[in-house]
């Protein structure tokens, strides 16, 4: 599971922290523990330098409270990452644990991908070993430092609420199609527009034309991802299955009752295909529900999409 969070970041942090058995974080500044409370067995690596304390970027009172709860606290001057691990979940992004950060527009990746979570834990441990242990004497000293709260940056109090992106993955069976004469202008205009959004300089754009009342046609949008089953002659067994590719643009041509989806075609698209047999094996391996059809037009659950991605190249 991978989720990109913005407006939903703080509720998710609070929920994950509340139910976690162990919490670990390397976060630049800490002044607010309403969302994440560090307790016995938890690890907090932060910037508790004199400069951070005196400027109010990190709170000595909050660190003192966490220390009393027997959390392990380490200080690294100039620390800047924002990495959190809650049991089997990692959150990596831009947010400090502060009201100032909550007022800003932040973003973070929430993931339970084992490779990422497994990398985040030792990263925090490395910071812990490199930093200075915050003990009782450390707490006593920083608690007596004079604090001058710096003024918020201009505009920081006006947080923009941005919807969290929720791209969906679609498994779609395709065959060759020739645009009709009256459709050519629409198709060409869409290709020209979509080319502005490619992520790689050498990518090209291909189109998918859909008619009918399928859920894919009704609901798929820009930012969604397609896994395409390709049958070159329009009959018989599929030739290949194409790896995940993003929808760059959607165009609805109401006059001709057709929807065009413009998809990024990566430079290595042909090299990363699976044969139909390989894909059938992968489909079975990850436990897709339902029967696999070469003319599929269905949504793929996020965890199945992640599994496809993770195991795709093992099939080759």
Sequential pLDDT tens for the chain (316 residues): 788 999 899 999 999 999 998 899 999 999 999 999 999 989 999 999 999 999 999 999 999 999 999 999 999 999 999 999 998 899 999 999 998 898 888 999 999 886 788 888 889 989 999 999 999 999 999 999 999 876 655 554 555 555 556 789 999 999 998 877 878 888 889 999 999 888 888 899 999 999 999 999 999 999 899 999 999 998 899 999 999 999 999 999 888 889 999 999 999 999 999 999 999 999 999 998 889 999 999 999 988 998 898 899 988 7
Q: b/e map of 52-80 (b: 16 or more CB within 10 Å)?
A: bbbebbbbbebbbebbeeebbbbbbeebe
Whether the CB-CB separation of 48 and 63 falls below 8 Å is answered with yes
Burial class, 98, CB count within 10 angstroms (exposed 0-12 / middle 13-18 / buried 19+)? buried
DSSP state, residue 65: H
Cβ-proximal residues to 33 (8 Å cutoff; 6+ apart), any chain:
62, 65, 66, 97
CATH 3.40.630.10, applies to 2-143: no
CA-to-CA distance for 271 and 93, rounded, in angstroms? Answer: 33
- Please report the pLDDT score of residue 158 as a whole number: 56
Residue 53 is classified by DSSP as: H
Cα pseudo-dihedral 221, 15, 106, 132, rounded to 10: -140
- List helix spans (H) across the chain: 9-19, 50-54, 60-68, 99-103, 114-130, 136-143, 184-194, 215-219, 276-285, 302-311
pLDDT score of 134: 97
Predicted confidence at residue 155, as pLDDT, reads 52
pLDDT at residue 238, rounded to an integer: 96
Give the model's pLDDT for residue 103: 87
Contact call for residues 190 and 251 (beta carbons, < 8 A): yes
**CA separation for the pair 226, 245 (Å, rounded):** 5
pTM score? 0.65
The single residue listed with the structure tokens 């000293």 is 141
Which class for 144: exposed (0-12), middle (13-18), buried (19 or more C-beta within 10 A)? exposed
Confidence at residue 179, expressed as pLDDT on a 0 to 100 scale = 76
What is the C-alpha separation between 276 and 199, in angstroms, rounded?
27
């Amino acid at each position: 599971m991978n989720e990109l969070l913005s407006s939903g970041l703080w509720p998710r942090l609070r929920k994950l922290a509340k139910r976690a058995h162990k919490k670990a974080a390397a976060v630049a500044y800490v002044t607010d523990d309403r969302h994440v409370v560090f307790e016995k067995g938890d690890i907090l690596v932060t910037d508790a330098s004199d400069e951070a304390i005196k400027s109010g970027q990190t709170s000595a009172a909050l660190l003192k409270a966490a220390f009393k709860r027997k959390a392990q606290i380490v200080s690294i001057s100039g620390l800047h990452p924002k990495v959190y691990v809650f049991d089997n979940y990692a959150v990596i992004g831009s947010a400090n644990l502060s009201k100032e950060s909550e007022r800003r527009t932040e973003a973070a990746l929430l993931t339970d991908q084992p490779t990422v979570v497994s990398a985040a834990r030792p990263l925090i441990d490395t910071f812990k070993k490199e930093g200075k242990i915050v003990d009782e004497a450390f707490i006593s000293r920083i608690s007596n430092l004079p604090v001058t709260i710096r003024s918020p940056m201009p505009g920081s109090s006006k947080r923009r609420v941005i919807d969290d992106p929720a791209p969906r993955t679609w498994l779609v069976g395709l065959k060759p199609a020739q645009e009709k004469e009256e459709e050519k202008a629409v198709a060409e205009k869409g290709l020209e527009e979509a080319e502005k959004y490619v992520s790689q300089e050498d990518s090209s754009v291909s189109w998918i034309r859909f008619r009918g009342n399928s859920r894919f046609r009704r609901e798929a949008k820009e930012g969604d991802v397609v896994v395409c089953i390709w049958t070159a002659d329009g009959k018989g067994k599929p030739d290949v299955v194409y790896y995940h590719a993003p929808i760059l643009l959607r165009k609805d041509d109401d006059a001709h009752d057709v929807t065009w989806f413009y998809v990024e075609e990566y430079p290595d698209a042909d090299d990363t295909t699976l044969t139909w047999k390989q894909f059938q094996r992968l489909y079975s391996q990850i436990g897709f529900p339902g029967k696999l059809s070469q003319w599929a037009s269905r949504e793929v659950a996020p965890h199945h999409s992640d599994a496809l991605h993770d195991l795709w190249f093992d099939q080759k």
